[in-house]
Structure 1
Amino acid sequence: MIQADIACPRARLPERLLEKLFNSSVQNLEDKVTEEHLSYVRNIKVIDGSTVSMPDTVENQKECPQPSSQKPGCGFPIAKIGVIFSFVTGAAVALCIDVLNTHDIKLARKLYSYLQPNDVLIGDRAFCAYADMFTIKKFDCDAVFRKH
């Protein structure tokens, strides 16, 4: 049971708990996907990268400093995220977070282990690299990326 301080409803939840809830939700959704939901009997996944801003705390500034183009004290820490979505459910099935100047392909390499055999991974040209196509194939998956 999650306990929260009534006086502080925005109390921070433990990161491990959030990770556990995310993984449990993902597994619950993926378990409900049947062959009739799939395109050509293949599970299509979509990969992309983005950024998120975070509260301006000392801890967040240490982990993910604000961009150097911003004046100190006038911006928020920004993190880079990589996400794999299920085409069938629309849910995020894998997520990783890193510092702002991390390239999408570096984030993607942390996410490939979440692929299941026979998945098809779709992404934009940021993910189109021969070494990554080879790695994805080793997971017994296929990939469709826009060429540079």
Structure 2
Amino acid sequence: MPEKLLEKLFNDSAQSLEEKVTQEKLCCGRNVKVIDGSTVSMPDTQENQKEYPQHSSQKEGCGFPIAKIGVIFSLVTGAAVALCIDVMNTHDIKLARRLYSFLKPNDVLLGDRAFCAYADMFAITKLGCDAVFRKHQSRTTT
């Protein structure tokens, strides 16, 4: 399937589900979105090897290309509402910054400690949203 067709189907299905969400399904009247990052292995093609090189610990020709993905899910519908793909060594926060544009005012973004950066919390609040992230282990609390 062509990537553009997959992207259109992805966006259309997520949009259709989001439109069906009623006020009583929301958490205190707020739409909660969950953000996370992961890796996926890809078919071993020349194009994929070039675009998404395999991990450096793998012997050349003995591994699959690996891509890093960032996703925002709707807590209400369970649908992925936003997705971005990059090379494997991309940090989750870098992917997240490409996904913030999919948030709508009054959304609450929920994520793990990888997303707990003051600059990002500020950027999210500037969009009219709130963020709930676990405190990063390097931050001290008094």
Among all aligned residue pairs of Structure 1 and Structure 2, give the percentage whose two residues are the same amino acid.
Answer: 81
* DSSP 3-state at the match of 1:85: strand
Aligned length: 136
What's the TM-score, normalizing by structure 1? 0.91
Q: Determine helix, strand or coil for the equivalent of 2:119.
A: helix
Q: From 62, 76, 84, give the equivalent of 1:96.
A: 84
2:98 corresponds to? 110
Q: What is the aligned counterpart of 2:112 among 118, 121, 124?
A: 124
Deviations 1:115-146 (A, max 9, x none): 01000000000000000000000110000001
Alignment of 1:132-143 (within 5 A): 132-143=120-131
* Aligned-partner SS, 2:36: strand
What is the TM-score normalised by the length of structure 2?
0.95
| One-letter identity of the residue aligned with 1:134 | F
How far the C-alpha of 1:42 sits from its partner, in A, is 0.3
Paired AA for residue 43 in structure 1: N
Given the alignment of the two structures, is residue 26 of structure 1 paired with residue 32 of structure 2, yes or no? no
Q: CA shift at 1:80, angstroms?
A: 0.1
Deviation string for 1:31-56 (max 9, x for gaps)?
00010110100000000000000011
User: Of residues 69, 75, 88 in structure 1, which corresponds to 2:57?
Assistant: 69
Query: Do structure 1's residue 147 and structure 2's residue 135 form an aligned pair?
Result: yes
Counterparts of 2:77 and 2:28 in 1: how far apart (Å)?
A: 16
- What do you get for the CA RMSD once the two structures are aligned? 0.4
The aligned amino acid for 2:107 is D
Gaps of 5+ in 2: 137-142
The one-letter amino acid of 1:53's match is S
Structure-2 residue corresponding to 1:7: none
The residue identity in structure 2 corresponding to 1:79 is A
Distance 2:27 2:110 in 1: 13
Question: Residues 59-101 of structure 1: CA distance to partner in whole angstroms, max 9, x if unpaired?
Answer: 0000000001000011000000000000001110100000000
